[in-house]
Amino acid sequence: MPNAIVTGFFSAAGTPLELWQRNPAVTSHPSACEYIHLDLSTESLGLTSRYNCWGFTFLPRRYWLSRSAVDALLQDNCVPVPNGSVEVGDVIRYRAYNPVGVLETTHTGRVWQTDGVGHATWIRSKWGPNYERIHEPLCPDLPESYGTDLAYFRQHSPLRGDSAQANKIADLWIKDSPSDNGQQGIRAPWWTSPDILVDVPPYDGAPDLNPVFDHPNRIWAVVRNRTDQRVDNVLVRFYWADPAAGLPASAWNLVPAAPGHPNPVGPISIDGYASVQTDYVEWVPTTAPAHQCLLAIAYVNDNPRDSGNPDPIVYPFDVPFDNNIGQRNVEVMTLKNGSSGEFSIRIANPFHTPNEVTGFITAVLTFSPRLPVIGFPRQIRPLQVLLSLDKAEAVSLRTGERHQSLAGRLIPGDPWRRERIVASLTLPQLKLPPKKAHRLDVRITAPRNAVKGAAYYLHIIQTVSGMVTGGYTAVVVVG
C-alpha cells in the first residue's frame, strides 16, 4: 500500500486538512485495545501506522493526520473546557516546549473516564504508530516528548467533506436521549433514545409508547448524518434485550429477520445534514421475561481497518461513547391517583470482559410539569417508589435531601423537558459477576393528590468506578 496524501477533508471552518494514507498493516500486541465485531468476535487493534493519535481523536482509525490538521480542528471544531468541567469524550491535548521555547501540540486523546466532578482520570489514546491504550493523563510511562502542558476541549462539530462528493466522510447519529446533541460523551440518561420507534398493532405508522407482547411490533429508527456529505450503503441493525441497567454485548439479541423485513435494514443513503427514517423490522416480544429494551446500530461496515469507511464504528456496543448507537430502555406507564404499578429489571455486569466488578445502583425520581413552558408547581408531590433488590426488604426513595449533586451529572439540562429531582436513593455497593444478574423489583404508587397530566421519570442508574454504565427509565404519567 503506497503512502499518499488524502484530500477532501476540512475543518468546520473550511480549513483543508492534511491527511496521509499509510501502511495499513497491523501487528498484534497483547496490551493493545480490542475491537468487538458485531458477531462478538474480537480482534486486537494492534500496532499500526495507519493512524496516529490525531487520527484516533478526530477521524477514528482511518488516517494519519498532520499536526497542522489537529491544530486546525482544535481551533475550528472544538471549544476549550476548563479543568473541573471535563466530561467523558472530551479531547485532551498535550503540549511541550520546543528548544526555542514555543509550545507545540505533541499528542491528543479522548477522555475515557472522569472523577465525576470534571477531572479526567483515564484517557484513551494512540501513541504514534504504537498501539491504542487506556492510561492516566500523566501516567509514569508517558513519553517525555509529549510534555505536561495539558488542556481539554469539547468537539462540537464533526469534520466536513466536499459536499459535491459522497462517502468520504459521514457522522451517523442516533440520539441517545432527547437532549443528545450528537457529541461524543456520556450524558445520562443515554438509554432514552427518541430515535428508536415502535408501532404496535393496529399499525398506524405513528410511534406508540410501549411495545405489545406476543404480537409483531414494527421497530424503526431515525438516523441522522451530521456532516455535509451524502453517505450511501448505510445499514441499521436492531436488537432487543431484557430490561436491565448494565447490558454487556452478549445480552444484545438481534431481532430476527422476517420475510420482507431483513435485519439489518438497508442499504440506505442519507444526505448531508439530513436524517432518514429506516424501514421497519418486525419484533415479537414475549412476556417472560419482559422485553422492553431496544437498541440500534447505524454503520457502513464492521471493519476497523477500513480507511475508506466514511464513519467507522469506534466503540461497538458502547451506546454513550459511539453516536452511531442508540438505546431505548424506557417503559411508559399511566397511573391513576392512588394506584400502583410494578416492574422488574436486571442489574448486570455491563462489560464484555470476564471479570467481576463492583458498582452502585442509584434511583432518581424527577418531575416534569404537564406543560413545561408554564413551569413547576410550588410544591411537588413525589411518587412513592419502593425498590427491592434480589427479593430483599423494599426500601423507599428519600425526599427532602440534597439531590443537586446528581443534577447536571446524571440529568442534563433540557429546555424542552425540564426535569426536577424530587427523590433519590443509592443502594449499597453491589458485586456484579460476569454472567449473573441481580433482579431489581420496583413498585411505584401515585399519590392521591398528584397533578393530572404531570410526568414523573424514574431513572435507575448503574455506575461502576464513577462511570454511568447503564440505566433504565420508567415514565409515569398521572392519568
What is the end-to-end Cα distance of the chain in Å, rounded?
65
Give the residue with the Cβ less far from other proteins, 96 or 477: 96
Q: Residue from 39, 100, 164, 391 that binds other proteins (CB under 8 A)?
A: 100
> How far apart (Å, rounded) are the C-alpha atoms in residues 245 and 255?
20
Looking only at the bridges linking them, the beta strands covering 244-245 and 340-347 are: parallel
Helix (H) or strand (E) holding 115: none
> How far apart (Å, rounded) are the C-alpha atoms in residues 472 and 397?
16
Q: How far is the CB of 153 from other proteins (least distance, A)?
A: 17
User: How many CB atoms lie under 10 A from the CB of residue 197?
Assistant: 21
Q: How far is the CB of 137 from other proteins (least distance, A)?
A: 16
Q: How far is the CB of 142 from other proteins (least distance, A)?
A: 9
3-state secondary structure of 341: strand
Residue 20 touches other proteins, criterion: CB under 8 A: yes
Q: How far is the CB of 383 from other proteins (least distance, A)?
A: 53
Contact positions with other proteins (CB under 8 A) in 260-279? none
Q: How far is the CB of 101 from other proteins (least distance, A)?
A: 10
> How far apart (Å, rounded) are the C-alpha atoms in residues 163 and 229?
5
Give the residue with the Cβ less far from other proteins, 130 or 303: 130
Residue 106 touches other proteins, criterion: CB under 8 A: yes
Residue 408 touches other proteins, criterion: CB under 8 A: no
Give the residue with the Cβ less far from other proteins, 102 or 164: 102
> How far apart (Å, rounded) are the C-alpha atoms in residues 141 and 416?
46
Contact positions with other proteins (CB under 8 A) in 108-137? 127-130
Residue 64 touches other proteins, criterion: CB under 8 A: yes
Among residues 429, 434, 431, 430, the alpha carbon closest in space to that of 355 is found at 434
Q: How far is the CB of 4 from other proteins (least distance, A)?
A: 7
Q: Which stretch binds other proteins (CB under 8 A): 24-32, 100-108, 212-220, 458-466?
A: 100-108
**From residue 191 to residue 230, what is the string marking binding to other proteins with x (rule CB under 8 A)?**
----------------------------------------
DSSP conformation letters of 159-199:
-EE-TTSBSS---EE--SSTT--S-SS--S-TTB-SSEEEE
Are 227 and 159 in contact by the 8 Å Cβ rule? The answer is: yes
Give the residue with the Cβ less far from other proteins, 129 or 341: 129
**From residue 36 to residue 55, what is the string marking binding to other proteins with x (rule CB under 8 A)?**
----------------xxx-
CA dist list (Å): 317 to 7, 84, 191, 251, 304: 31, 29, 13, 10, 14
Q: Which residue has the cell 446524571?
A: 410
Q: How far is the CB of 63 from other proteins (least distance, A)?
A: 10
Q: Residue from 37, 43, 75, 104 that binds other proteins (CB under 8 A)?
A: 104
Residue 14 touches other proteins, criterion: CB under 8 A: no
User: How many CB atoms lie under 10 A from the CB of residue 74?
Assistant: 22
Give the residue with the Cβ less far from other proteins, 18 or 87: 18
CA dist list (Å): 403 to 366, 422, 425: 10, 8, 9
Task: Return the DSSP state at 16.
Answer: B
Q: Which stretch binds other proteins (CB under 8 A): 94-102, 199-207, 377-385, 437-445?
A: 94-102
Q: Which stretch binds other proteins (CB under 8 A): 85-93, 103-111, 334-342, 353-361?
A: 103-111
Q: How far is the CB of 105 from other proteins (least distance, A)?
A: 9
User: How many CB atoms lie under 10 A from the CB of residue 323?
Assistant: 26
Among residues 177, 153, 233, the alpha carbon closest in space to that of 473 is found at 177
Residue 148 touches other proteins, criterion: CB under 8 A: no
Q: How far is the CB of 20 from other proteins (least distance, A)?
A: 5
Q: Residue from 24, 143, 408, 479 that binds other proteins (CB under 8 A)?
A: 143
**167: Cβ–Cβ under 8 A, 6 or more apart, which residues?**
229, 230, 231, 232, 233, 310
Q: How far is the CB of 33 from other proteins (least distance, A)?
A: 16
> How far apart (Å, rounded) are the C-alpha atoms in residues 46 and 29?
5
Give the residue with the Cβ less far from other proteins, 108 or 463: 108
Give the residue with the Cβ less far from other proteins, 106 or 233: 106
- Cell readout for 422 is 424530587
**378: Cβ–Cβ under 8 A, 6 or more apart, which residues?**
none
Question: Burial letters for 402-424: b for 16+ Cβ neighbours within 10 Å, e otherwise?
Answer: ebeebeebbbbeeeeebbebbbb
Number of residues that bind other proteins (CB under 8 A): 31
Give the residue with the Cβ less far from other proteins, 2 or 82: 2
Contacts with other proteins by CB under 8 A lie at 2-5, 18, 20, 22, 52-54, 64-68, 96, 98-100, 102, 104, 106-107, 127-130, 143-146
